[in-house]
């Protein structure tokens, strides 16, 4: 696939999977919009982005998704349209784990923060940025799922609830856009991956026993390919999609 001059917004781009995707997509000539809340981390990732192609340009959007509103979402829209003619993709990667505790003991303030970042923000950003995605020739929206989006598990609390909700949100957007838009919506569970969130959730796990974020790149490239345009599937797990990508 040709990713030269494609403009891709990545939330949670200052660390982990988001950082790796930003750097690797930039190496393929994409314009990267980095969105996260830590300005110092964003600056460090920005400095790592590739600028080998003369037409490339990248953008930092410092934003706290916990506080995202209609107004601030439209400010993000304006910032993007001032720099780019269209948006080719959104990768909803940003998420927080919250507290690993029983629902009975869950603090409401932390519950709200998890739901705001993991579910409310992707909803607001998608509905607000949809208009500039329509101007792309191959527009994509990729939501990030989790194994706890399918079966409720004790102690996973707000994180699990947010991923259940995000799966439904992705399905509804996909269904609504299926016959009215060229935007393809995918929901992707990257599975066990070496990230700070994974280490926090499973501190006893040997990180060397699971894949690094780099291993996910081929899956994300497939989402932005012509081949994925013909896919009737919307939900993918890494184990299955990686086999599909390898065989093609």
Q: Give the catalytic positions in this structure.
A: 159
- Could you give the 3-state DSSP secondary structure of residue 248? coil
Phi, psi of 35 (to 5 degrees): -125, 125
In 10 A of CB 242, how many CB atoms? 19
Q: How far from 44 is each of 22, 47, 109, 171, 195, CA to CA, in Å?
A: 12, 5, 30, 35, 18
DSSP state of 34: E
Report the distance separating Cα 236 and Cα 234, nearest Å. 7
Q: How many CA atoms lie within 13 A of 39 on its CB side?
A: 1
Strands 31-36 and 89-92: unpaired
């Amino acid at each position: 696939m040709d990713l030269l001059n494609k403009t891709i917004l990545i939330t949670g781009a200052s660390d982990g999977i988001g950082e790796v995707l930003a750097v690797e997509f930039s190496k393929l000539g994409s314009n990267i919009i980095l969105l996260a809340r830590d300005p110092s981390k964003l600056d460090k990732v920005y400095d790592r982005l590739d600028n080998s192609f003369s037409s490339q340009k990248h953008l930092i959007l410092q934003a706290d998704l916990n506080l995202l509103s209609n107004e601030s979402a439209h400010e993000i829209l304006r910032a993007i349209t001032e720099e780019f003619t269209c948006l080719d993709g959104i990768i909803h990667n940003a998420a927080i784990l919250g507290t690993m505790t029983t629902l009975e003991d869950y603090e409401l303030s932390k519950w709200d923060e998890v739901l705001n970042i993991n579910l409310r923000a992707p909803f607001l950003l998608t509905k607000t940025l949809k208009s500039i995605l329509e101007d792309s020739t191959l527009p994509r929206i990729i939501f990030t799922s989790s194994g706890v989006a399918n079966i409720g598990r004790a102690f996973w609390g707000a994180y699990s609830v947010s991923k259940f909700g995000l799966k439904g949100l992705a399905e509804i957007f996909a269904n609504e856009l299926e016959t009215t838009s060229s935007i393809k919506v995918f929901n992707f569970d990257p599975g066990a991956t070496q990230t700070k969130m994974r280490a926090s959730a499973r501190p006893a796990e040997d990180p060397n026993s699971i894949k690094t974020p780099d291993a996910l790149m081929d899956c994300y490239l497939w989402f932005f390919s012509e081949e994925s345009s013909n896919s009737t599937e919307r939900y993918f797990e890494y184990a299955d999609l990686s086999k599909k990508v390898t065989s093609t």
